[in-house]
A = this chain, B = another copy of it.
Amino acid sequence: MALKVYLAGPEVFLPDARAQLDRKIALTRAAGLVPLAPGDLIIPEAPTPHARGLAISEGDEKLTDEADAIIANLTPFRGIAADVGTVFELGYMCGRGKIVYAYSNVADDHYARTLAHYGGVTERDASGRERGPDGLSIEDFGMVENLMLDGGVERRGGTMVVRAVAEAHRATDTEAFEKCLSLLAARGG
């Protein structure tokens, strides 16, 4: 049986969300895998925006429950970190013991992005720990994201694929995604 893969990422917010999701769906099929994408959901009518939000959450979770694996797009979103909806889904799939892969189209790692957030202005505290001007400590574990994400993926045998993509194409470039697909397909169903 071909593996079912949940395609997690902030593509749903793009102006051409449908086209981008269709592209990822086609690539997934071409890799011999079965795509499950959030944009495929038919959400029943809901009386309030809040109720609609809950219905989408329920539908998305059901899709992840159906999936054997996830490929999470962790490219920074509206800031220096990954989209929290995608991160929730990655954590959820780790909790369910599923196969997990992830990628980012930004090559700067968690440490470099955090430094940039502080404009490069950091200091060492009495114990030698690096901190931003707000006092928050800055982690440098040579990881793509917060260690719970990298750890969650790597300790389960998955891979964090990273690629430097020019800003104009960061939201849509699929090379890192395709690398995840081929690693997952090689792993077999």
Q: Which of A's residues lie within 8 Å of B, judged by CB? A: 10, 12-15, 17, 48-50, 52-54, 56-58, 60-61, 78-85, 87-96, 114, 117, 125, 131, 135-137, 139-143, 145-152, 154-155
A-B pairs, 5 with minimum CB distance: A57-B151, A95-B95, A91-B91, A53-B141, A79-B79
**Whole-angstrom distance between the Cβ of A166 and the nearest chain B Cβ:** 15
* Residue among B88, B90, B117, B131 making CB contact with A149, cutoff 8 Å: B88
* Residue among B10, B91, B131 making CB contact with A88, cutoff 8 Å: B91
User: Given that A114-B78, A148-B89 are known contacts, is A58 also in contact with B155, CB under 8 Å in the complex?
Assistant: yes
Q: Return chain B residues, CB-CB under 8 Å to A12.
A: 137
Q: Return chain B residues, CB-CB under 8 Å to A88.
A: 87-88, 90-91, 94, 146, 148-149, 152
Q: Are B78 and A79 neighbours in the complex by a CB distance under 8 Å?
A: yes
Q: Are B81 and A78 neighbours in the complex by a CB distance under 8 Å?
A: yes
Q: Are B84 and A145 neighbours in the complex by a CB distance under 8 Å?
A: yes
Name A91's closest neighbour in chain B (CB-CB).
B91
Q: Are A148 and B85 neighbours in the complex by a CB distance under 8 Å?
A: yes
Q: Are A53 and B94 neighbours in the complex by a CB distance under 8 Å?
A: no
Q: Return chain B residues, CB-CB under 8 Å to A54.
A: 147, 150-151, 154-155
**Whole-angstrom distance between the Cβ of A74 and the nearest chain B Cβ:** 9
Q: Are B84 and A146 neighbours in the complex by a CB distance under 8 Å?
A: yes
Q: Return chain B residues, CB-CB under 8 Å to A139.
A: 13, 53
